[in-house]
Amino acid sequence: MFDEREIKDNPLISDSNGAWQELVDAMNPASLLVLIQSRMGPDLLRRSTPEDVLQDALMNAWRDRAKVEWRGVRPFRAWLLTVIDNRLRDLADYEHAQKRGGGRAPISIDAPSRGNASSDGQRPQWLVATTTPSRMAVMREQAVAIRTALESLHPDVRDVVRLRVVEQRTLEQVADQLGMHISAVRRRLVKGAQEYQRLVMKHLSGRSIALTPADQLTSALDSAAEGADGPTARRADSSPGLGRRKKST
**Same domain? 119 vs 144:** no
At position 85, the amino acid (one-letter code) is D
In angstroms, the CA 6 to CA 121 distance is 32
Planar angle of CA 198, 39, 131, nearest 5 degrees: 70
- Examine residue 66 and state whether it is found in any structural domain, yes or no: yes
Is residue 26 located within the same domain as residue 49?
A: yes
**Rounded Cα gap, residues 11 and 69, in angstroms:** 11
Q: How far apart are CA 36 and CA 31, in angstroms?
A: 9
Residue 207 counted as domain residue: yes
From 82, 104, 131, the end of a domain falls on: 131
Give me the pLDDT at residue 6, please.
52
Per-residue pLDDT of the chain (249 residues; tens, 9 = 90+): 444 445 667 888 877 777 888 888 888 889 999 999 999 988 888 888 999 899 889 888 888 888 888 988 888 999 999 999 999 998 888 777 777 665 554 544 333 333 344 434 456 666 666 667 778 888 888 899 999 999 999 999 999 999 988 888 889 999 999 999 999 999 999 999 889 988 988 888 766 555 433 333 444 455 554 544 443 333 333 334 343 333 333
Domain identity same for 117 and 140 = no
- DSSP annotation of 2 reads -
Note whether 124 and 152 are same-domain residues: no
Residue at a domain's end among 114, 131, 148: 131
Assign residue 141 the CATH number of its domain. 1.10.10.10
Domain extent at residue 146: 135-234
- Note the pLDDT of residue 180: 95
**Cα gap 109→244, rounded to integer Å:** 30
- Let me know whether 19 and 121 are in one domain: yes
Q: How many domains does the chain have?
A: 2
Q: Is the residue at 199 inside a domain?
A: yes
Q: Is residue 6 part of a domain?
A: no
- Residue 157 inside a domain? The answer is yes
